[in-house]
Amino acid sequence: MSSQPVSIVCVGMAGSGKTTFMQRINSHLHSKKSPPYVINLDPAVRNVPFDSNIDIRDSVNYKEVMKQYNLGPNGGIITSLNLFSTKIDQILGLLEKRTAPDLENPTVRPIKNILIDTPGQIEVFVWSASGSILLDSLASTFPTVIAYVIDTPRTSSTSTFMSNMLYACSILYKTKLPMILVFNKTDVKDAEFAKEWMTDFEAFQEALRHEEEMGSFGGIEGGDGGLGGGSGYMGSLLNSMSLMLDEFYRHLSVVGVSSMTGDGVDEFFEAVDEKAKEFERDYRPELERRRKEREQQRESRREQDLGRLMKDMSVSGGKRPQKEEPEVISDLEDEGEDIEAEMVEPDDDDDDLAIDDDQQREKIDTALSDRYKQALAKEGDAGHAPSGEDFSFARYLRANQ
């Protein structure tokens, strides 16, 4: 078993029995005298059949978010999760405190499991920015396992089974975390057919062929009263998908669980221990590599932004190429440079009078205009009034300025 606490993130479609499954594994751990730390991330649920240590509903009012931001149900859930994800540092601090051994009371057993319930709208949690923040933050601190809960009775047909597998595949490659497929409601329908379809390609082909003959894919009634096989497009697609997902099945643990009776829960936690070891062996190095890449990219972007800033401000901070100055006067003589021009003493007030390019151009333009006006005034005082050509030149100068 993993020495670190394991966080189990339960995801599943609406109606798959995800919340009931959470209740079952929670009560199972309590019966083993190893109570978990429970987090509820569903802001729209009215009641949950288990006590939550951290509940998003205590921090975010889902209905007020919908009203305030003029959002629908899914938009309200996403916004609530976004608001809650700003507290991720506090959540991780609480988790680290509760999962650490109590030095003052060594007899108290530290928490070994963190259970996380998510909204029934999978795409709201898995594909949202807040969901990624929460999962990445958990995975950077604890071994994290995704438990994908599937409604077994609804998955008895090949088309719905393949839809669930594609959904699980997309979640696996989006989260890049170990996954366990939990076929729930085995008290209604046994999950052995699904396990067979995942391990025996011929068995899935036989079931697919049988459904085609029964017209499950839009077949039409034949002349003898039977059902035809339809166009064959759906059967061909499912056949191709099953071939493609054969490698995907190798990276999954599959368990059948009944949330009502508790059958299969021990097998589920055995799979959790196995996936926790897999996380430490395979996934954590990958997470560390990705974290280092993000830090390097962030540092590189910071240097590039600083370089552009220095260039725009025309600041010579090592970013702008400068002419290399000779070290001795003889070098200047050899290069034919003007020694006096190179040895002009700098003005001490240059730093205090530093202004940007726009202000400098404006100041120069104003000074030129004033000097031109003064020149015209002096000519007038000397008895030489400006002629029409002079005024004409003044208008030309102002237009060009």
Task: Give the pLDDT confidence of 372-394 residue by residue, as tens digits.
Answer: 455 545 544 544 445 555 455 45
Q: What is the pLDDT of residue 110?
A: 82
What is the maximum alpha-carbon separation in the chain? 122
Measured distance between the N- and C-terminal CA atoms of the chain, rounded to whole angstroms: 80
Give the per-residue pLDDT at 342.
46
Say how far apart CA 155 and CA 158 lie, in whole Å. Answer: 7
Pairing of strands 179-184, 253-256: parallel
Nearest C-alpha neighbor of 270 from the set 30, 108, 31, 28: 28
Cβ contacts of 401 within 8 Å, gap of 6 or more:
365, 368, 369
Instruction: Please name which of 270, 252, 280 lies closest in space to residue 168, comparing C-alpha atoms.
Output: 252
Rounded to whole angstroms, the Cα distance separating 84 from 91 reads 10
Tell me what pLDDT residue 344 has: 47
d(CA 318, CA 100): 49
Amino acid at 13: M
The whole-angstrom separation of Cα 9 and Cα 175 is 11
The Cα–Cα gap between 38 and 149 comes to 17
Identify which of 380, 21, 9, 370 has the alpha carbon closest to the alpha carbon of residue 187.
21
CB 146 within 8 A of CB 175: yes
Phi and psi (nearest 5°) for 253?
Answer: -105, 135
The pLDDT value given to residue 227: 38
pLDDT lower than 70: segments of the chain: 1-3, 216-232, 309-310, 312-401
Buried b (16+ CB within 10 A) or exposed e, 236-259: eebbebbeebeeebeebbbbbbbb
Give the number of other CB atoms < 10 A from CB of residue 204: 25
How many residues make up the chain in this entry?
Answer: 401
The residue written with tokens 């067979």 in the block is 196
Dihedrals phi, psi of 11, to nearest 5 degrees: -125, 155
Residue 299 pLDDT: 80
Q: Quote the CA–CA distance of 331 and 230 in Å, as a whole number.
A: 92
- Per-residue pLDDT, 315: 45
Contact of 136 with 29, CB cutoff 8 Å: no
- Write down the residue that tokens 């006096």 correspond to: 340
Structural contact between residues 150 and 185, judged by C-beta atoms closer than 8 angstroms: no
CATH architecture of 6-34+114-215+236-289: 3-Layer(aba) Sandwich (3.40)
- Tell me the pLDDT tens digit for each residue of 346-366: 455 555 544 555 666 566 556
Rounded to whole angstroms, how far apart are CA atoms 325 and 86? 53
| CA distance linking residue 397 with residue 401, whole number of Å | 6
Rounded alpha-carbon distances, angstroms, from residue 55 to 58, 62, 111, 130, 139: 6, 12, 18, 16, 20
Structure tokens given for 269 = 């936690």
